[in-house]
Structure 1
Amino acid sequence: TTNSVNQRLSSLRDAMANYKVSAYIVTNNDPHNSEYSADHWAGRTWISGFTGSAGNVVITQQGGGLWTDGRYYIQAEEQLHGTGLDLFKARQPETPTIPKWLASTLDENSAIAVDGHSISYAFYQELKQALEPKNIEIVLDLDLITPIWTDRPSRPSAEIFDHPVAFSGVETKQKLADRRKWLKENHADWLLVAT
């Protein structure tokens, strides 16, 4: 409900004030930047009430906003109603990106925070480029959501399993042999495989 969202926003703003943070970015991204994250990582949904699959939210002491794409404009308007959060129509010529909006909104020598595990290096670079001219600090190791999300779902703990040959077409043993051959042919010492 809107009341629950407003209570959560108030708690987050209190935490932001304690840490002297002018803006806090919340995503639904897990540390692997998976397309679909487990409920544990649904911080943006929890703090804003917006349930669409795409979007990031920025909270400031006076307001903030949600950036999402055209699939969710109507839904976002409805779900943000009464929260004090504005809808930013992402990828539209008139809509500033989050970094540009922060740079135009925040005072010099202020600070923003985001859980650094929830953003890409490319997004961090965009933030840095936009905020450096105003000497705005970017704090990447401050998780303000977990302390206030008291019933947060646990992290997934399912065991790792082999991807069935029926789907992959190749057994794990053969995949590893192929990778080792590639490493040797390319004079490489190791290959990083990430999910």
Structure 2
Amino acid sequence: MMRVNYYKELSADYSRPGLISEDMKRQLIELGEKIVSKKEATLPEINEDYTLEQIEKENKEWWPTHCEALRQGRGDILTDEYREDLVYFCQDGPYRGLEQQQEREQHWWALIAQPGVTMVWPIVMFYAEHTFFEWKCLDNETNETIAKGNVTWVRRGHRGGCYLKTEQLTFYRDVFAPENLLKLIKVA
């Protein structure tokens, strides 16, 4: 069986802890803020001026910024990655728009970005406007997996953002974050 380095064409490797320098973390957050500011009010058409190849290239550029935003609990960036008319399918959903899943997702973000835990994405694949990934959160002390899942985003590049998200997630230790962890998540 052929082994694949899913990060070989990307600017940063989030497949395991400890691979991202402080300078790169800062750069990725700045880039993430710039990327979400490019989202247009209307979902852009796919055509000869905005091709699937361009969209896939933009999704590959975006991916490391998404990972760093999650690790840093930047719920403001994470929310801005979504379109206003987001459709989100998960075991608690379906959710439509940005408000239905907001409280629930804030708990998830707080748990996966809590101190002493590192989120990693060992697998990420891109095809046109589709991004599939598997993730897990590791306890830094025990190396225990505290949560894991797999996700598919349908994201129309920087100009469109994510309009469909499907997710299967499993939390092993906690499902709701305590108040002290919720306070660590930056919201818009």
Normalised-by-shorter TM-score class: under 0.3
Structure with greater strand share of residues: 2
Indicate the structure whose relative CO is greater, using CA pairs within 8 Å and at least 6 residues apart: 2
TM normalised by structure 2 equals 0.24
State the structure with more CA Rg. 1
Taking structure 1 as the reference length, the TM-score comes to 0.24
More helix by share: 1
